[in-house]
Chains A and B, each alone.
Chain A
Amino acid sequence: KNEVEQSPQNLTAQEGEFITINCSYSVGISALHWLQQHPGGGIVSLFMLSSGKKKHGRLIATINIQEKHSSLHITASHPRDSAVYICAVPTRINYGGSQGNLIFGKGTKLSVKP
């Protein structure tokens, strides 16, 4: 069974800073998810990636399959980026057909100060 470790657990940054959140997992996977949970509780899927790098606006996600590690970067951080960022991976390798049977990390609580 896969295990997911995120770091740091809490992160406080000043507006404009470059932010990195890390995620490590124990078993090879087909894809890794980065999610954002807003203070109001709703969850948004940011990225689903299986190799390399993806970019969306100020967010960049990278994954190293060999090292079983992924990072989420936020450039030019803003107070509206304050949220909990969660990494999630499939429950077991090569799970047939679906990406939603996931094991979740504990999350990284990000607070960006103006």
Chain B
Amino acid sequence: EAGVTQFPSHSVIEKGQTVTLRCDPISGHDNLYWYRRVMGKEIKFLLHFVKESKQDESGMPNNRFLAERTGGTYSTLKVQPAELEDSGVYFCASSQAGGELFFGEGSRLTVL
């Protein structure tokens, strides 16, 4: 069975542009999480979906970040417009209720 997949693995954009990151969770996992690791810092929680609903988006940095999970399957995280400080690695993870977390390989975002 496929694990959590993320796309793209690496994106390089200029300040002011838009980027959309995608996460495909493990089939049947209702919980989907986004995290971010900025260089030199610890990983930070961004938000949590249960199926298509946002359960907790307290970690979203600002309104330039928009996450969706239409149909409760894959999720997208859009950054618009991107700023230099958005550079980092964005991780996605999925789980069944109360179960083990399965992480994707991450999407590295570089904003120039």
Chain B: minimal CB distance from A5 (Å): 11
Are A45 and B45 also in contact (CB < 8 A) when A98-B31, A98-B55, A100-B31 are?
no
Cβ of B74 within 8 Å of any chain A Cβ, yes or no, is no
Cβ of B56 within 8 Å of any chain A Cβ, yes or no, is yes
Cβ of B97 within 8 Å of any chain A Cβ, yes or no, is yes
Complex CA gap A44/B106 in Å reads 12
Contact of B97 among A42, A86, A98 (CB under 8 A): A98
21 A–B contacts from the bound complex (CB under 8 Å): A33-B101, A35-B103, A41-B89, A42-B103, A45-B101, A45-B102, A45-B103, A86-B42, A91-B58, A97-B50, A97-B98, A98-B48, A98-B50, A98-B55, A98-B95, A100-B48, A102-B35, A103-B45, A104-B42, A104-B44, A105-B42
A→B interface (CB under 8 Å): 33, 35, 40-45, 48, 86, 88, 91, 97-107
